[in-house]
Structures are given as structure tokens and as C-alpha cells.
Amino acid sequence: MSQAIDIKVPDIGDFKDVPVIEVFVKVGDTVKAEDPLISLESDKATMDVPAPLGGVVKAIGVKIGDKVSEGSVILQFEGEGAAAAPAEAAKPSVSAPPSPVSAPAGLAEVRIPDIGDFKDVPVIEVFVKVGDTVKAEDPLVSLESDKATMEVPAPLGGVVQEIRVKVGDKVNEGSIIMALATGSASAAAAAPAVSAAAGQAAAPAAAAAASGGIDEAALALAYAGPAVRKLARELSVDLGKVKGTGAHGRIVRTDVEAFAKGGAAAAPAPKAGAAPAGGGVGGVDLLPWPKVDFAKFGPVERKELSRIKKISGANLHRNWVVIPHVTTHDEADITDLEAFRVQMNKELEKSGVKVSMLPFMMKAAVATLKKFPEFNASLDGDGLVLKNYWHIGFAADTPNGLMVPVIRDVDKKNIVEITKEMGELAKLARDGKLKPDQMSGGTFTISSLGGIGGIYFTPIINAPEVSIMGVCKSYWKQHSSDGKTSSWRLTLPLSLSWDHRVIDGAAAARFNVHFANLLADMRRTMF
């Protein structure tokens, strides 16, 4: 006599409330052990939940969009396999998690997690190979953006079954980098995975023939789960030509089946780097850059720009072209503040903390931003987002180029705390180890050339911010308050660049004056 058994989500690592993105079966379907039942997608991995045993689907307890965790009941089986299951497993208890033997975790596609606003980030190292066993948090690949080097860890343990990226490939958030066989399925998957990889490496032509001439590169890059890829291979469907109808363009089972029956191919994607219609900037065609053989005029030497300079250069150019910059110059009397800073450093000498002028400027910036909130904002379409937090970025000069770490919640930190955090972030920047979240979320930036020289300059706004303060090296200058007597005062040059779509000249002038007054007497920051 057949019995019913609840099928539950097996061990999926530390993931909780993972969305169901596909249901592969319907009531009445007969399935075999290891057939995929549903597909889940976390922020780091896509994984199919396989049938732990054979049977007939009696009821389905989830739908696309539902969120599940380990132990959640997803459907109910009846059949001979279910009848043979242990009595404990037959009890409809959500709280009792399934055993690893009865519910193998199957395959998990590992994706690039949230890496901030970075796009097309190159893979600079792959730490694993097919057949390797990895634990959760083991590094899988290393990426290098224009501002940081970051490692992508394994979201859960398993055996590497397939690697879909190589050094030099460019990835984004959500890009699939490899597939792991997890849970009890990992042991069975390890050996075949190794042999399959070896076979493909030794005979790529034979592998292509075995898959019906499918473009394996397109298959690896397609936005689809392991079960859908398996089905595509069985039906000799090239996923590179299939248009996904699932959420965010995901290719689902019905897309593959429809294509196999003669469905239309998706429109080819535009080639990377292709210019948009209209070309140039803002639809205006630009003249081609002049090509000159400089060697005709004398000896030359070519030096490639660093990766950071290449990408930050593109960002700076975009900001300069898109944002209508205006720069307002002023100066601040920092004579008394400098004397206080020197005294403070004497008192802190034993602690090893050495305070620069920049933390004081950050505190003055916060007080000024609170008085002029449109400077602590971002444009969003036709609206202005006014931010009620004050995260101040500071431009850090590194061997590889300019980087902008961000000090969060400057309003809640004292001068010493800001100094210590600046030192830590500056060191990470020089070592190329800044993480994306340590360079994001800024509301205002200060670019200081104080340690080098200069008087005034035009700093480029760090989008999506609407203003930036540039400061140069302070110098001694004679000041007169009454036109009759004068005295030498230490003067700090200020250069405030602002987005004219948001800010007008009068507001910018007032901002500079208020900022300068605070630096002249930091007691004013208390009001």
C-alpha cells in the first residue's frame, strides 16, 4: 500500500528565505530519484532541489516567488518509493529536517554576489579546479575592479563540478562562475566531473559532437538553472539562442521546450563596445581622436595605464561631460585651528595617532551640509533625494591611481576616531584591498592636495553626489579686518565644485563662507 511523504528543502548552507524561481513538476507527474523538483536562487547561488526518491506528485506546496528555508515542505509524494521510506519521514512535520541520505542537495550554481556598482569586472585568478572539494567561505575566484581586489567565496560546501569562467573574463553581479555538487550528491558527482572535464580538455570536438553541436560557451553563460541546462543538452537546444521569459530574463523549462518545437530565437545581443544610436555623447557625434605617429618627431616610450586609471578615467569623463560643473573659490583662516591641531598631536604623541587637517574639514563639512541640505543630495530623475546621513569620501592617492574611501556617519565620530579610520582605509587603498562597500554610499567628497601644493583647482564631482570640496596647501597671507592694520594668517584655499542643475551660485558662495567660518572657529560646529 502506497503512503504519502513530505518532500522538504534539504541542507542549503546558511541561506534563509530563498525565493523559488521555478517549479519543474505538476500534480500527477511521476518522478525518479534525483529528478529536479524546484529551483531556488539566493544572492550568491542558484540551486535545484532534486527528488530524494521516486514517486508520484500528490500535492505541491510552493509556487514561484515563495521563500523557503532548510526543512520547508515543498511538495508531497505518494508511491512505492514513498511507502518504503522510514516512518519518521512520512510524518508531515515541517520542523524535522530531512536526512542527507534521503534528500541530496543536488547542484548549486554559484553567482557573483553584490559587488556594489561595479560592472564588467575582470577575473584575475581562479583558485579551484573541477573535482576540488570546497567548504563554505573558501575563495573561488578573485576579481579586480578599478578600485579594489575582491575574492568571491563559496556560499556553501560541495564539489566543483563545472567552472564557467577563466582568467580575463569579465563578470557582473549575478554572473554564474561555477557549479557545485552539494550534500550527498557531491561524492557521486566528483569523479564524473573530473573525468568529464578531462575529456573535454582532451577532445573538445568530441565534446561538442556529444552535445549535438551546442555552443558550450553560450550554454555556460546562459541565465538558466542546472536542470534547464540538462534539458537543453538532451533536446540539443542552444541556450545562446533562447529568449528567457522568466524573472529578469531567466530561461525556464518551457522556453527550452518551446524552442525545441520551433520557437523563435532571441534577437542577437549588441556587440560589446558597440556605440549607441547617435554615437558620441548625448547623441552628438564626436570627431575621431587624432592618430599621430609620435616616433616621427623623436624617441618615445609607451607605458600602459593602470587598470584603475583606465576605468576611473572613464568615470571622470562621464561625470565631467554629464554634470554642468561650476567651481567657486574662497579661503579659510585656519591659524587658530592649526595651533590647536599641533597642540592636540603633542597630547596624542604617545598613542601613535597623528591628526591631519582633513578630519576637521570633515566635521566642518557635516555641519555645513546640515545647514545646506541640497549639497548632501543626489538627483533622481526630476527629483532630488535629500540624505539624512553624512558619509564623507576622501580622495586617496595610491600607486595605482586615485581612490575614494568613505568614512561613514562622520557626524557620530570624533576627530581621533575619524583619524584612525582614515589611516586604515588609506592603507587598504594603497594595498589595493579596499572593498566595494568601503567606497560606496558617500554623500560628499573632500579632495585635498594639502600635502603637495597648488592654490586652487577644479575638482570633478563624484557622481551621484552633487558637490565636492577641493583644498590645497595652506599658506601665510596678510589679512586686514579694518583696512588699517593687518596680520599674517595661515590661509587655506577652498575650491567647491557644484552641479548647476541642483545648486545655484548664491547657495555655493554661502556654503563656502559658512565652511570657512567653521574652520576659523570650530566651536561654531556645536550650533
pLDDT tens, the chain, 527 aa long: 456 788 888 877 667 888 888 888 999 889 887 788 888 877 666 778 888 888 899 989 999 889 998 888 998 888 554 544 433 333 322 223 333 223 334 677 888 887 777 788 888 888 899 999 988 778 898 887 766 667 788 877 888 988 999 988 999 888 889 888 875 444 444 444 333 333 333 333 333 434 445 565 555 556 776 677 778 878 888 877 888 777 656 788 888 888 888 754 443 443 333 333 334 554 455 678 888 999 999 999 988 887 777 777 888 888 998 999 999 999 999 999 999 999 999 999 999 899 999 999 999 999 999 999 999 999 998 899 999 999 999 988 887 777 899 999 999 999 999 999 999 999 988 887 888 889 899 999 999 987 788 889 999 999 999 999 999 999 999 988 788 888 999 999 999 999 999 999 999 999 999 999 999 999 888 77
**φ, ψ at 526 (rounded to 5°):** -85, -5
The label of the residue with cell 577563466 reads 166
358 and 248 share a domain?
no
Q: Which cell goes with 234? A: 538532451
CATH of the domain at 70: 2.40.50.100
Q: Among the three residues 81, 104, 127, which one is the final residue of a domain in this structure? A: 104
Residues 405 and 348 occupy one common structural domain = yes
In a domain, residue 327? The reply is: yes
Do 83 and 139 fall into the same domain?
Answer: no
Does 454 fall in a domain? yes
**Structural domain that includes position 356:** 307-526
Same domain (yes/no): 76, 126:
no
> Per the structure block, which three cell numbers stand in for 137?
567561505
Domain end call among 104, 123, 141: 104
116 in a domain, yes or no? yes
In a domain, 294, yes or no: no
The residue length of the chain stands at 527
Please give the tally of structural domains in the chain.
Answer: 3
Yes or no: say if 118 and 5 are a contact pair by the CB < 8 Å rule. Answer: no
What is the rounded (10 degree) CA torsion for 415, 416, 419, 420?
A: -150
Same domain, 451 and 319: yes
- Active site (catalytic) residues: 500
Query: Residues 90, 120: one domain?
Result: no
Question: What's the whole-model pTM score?
Answer: 0.51
Residue 322 CA, chain-centre distance (Å), reads 23
- In this structure, the answer to whether residues 99 and 137 fall within a common structural domain is no
Residues 444 and 399 placed together within one structural domain of the fold: yes
Same domain membership, residue 353 and residue 253: no
Q: Which of 67, 88, 104 finishes a domain?
A: 104
Give the E-state strand segments of 100-245 in sequence order.
106-111, 121-126, 133-134, 139-144, 149-153, 158-163, 170-171, 176-182
Contacts of 452 (CB under 8 A, 6+ apart): 473
β-strand pairing of 444-448 with 158-163: unpaired
224 and 136 inside one domain = yes
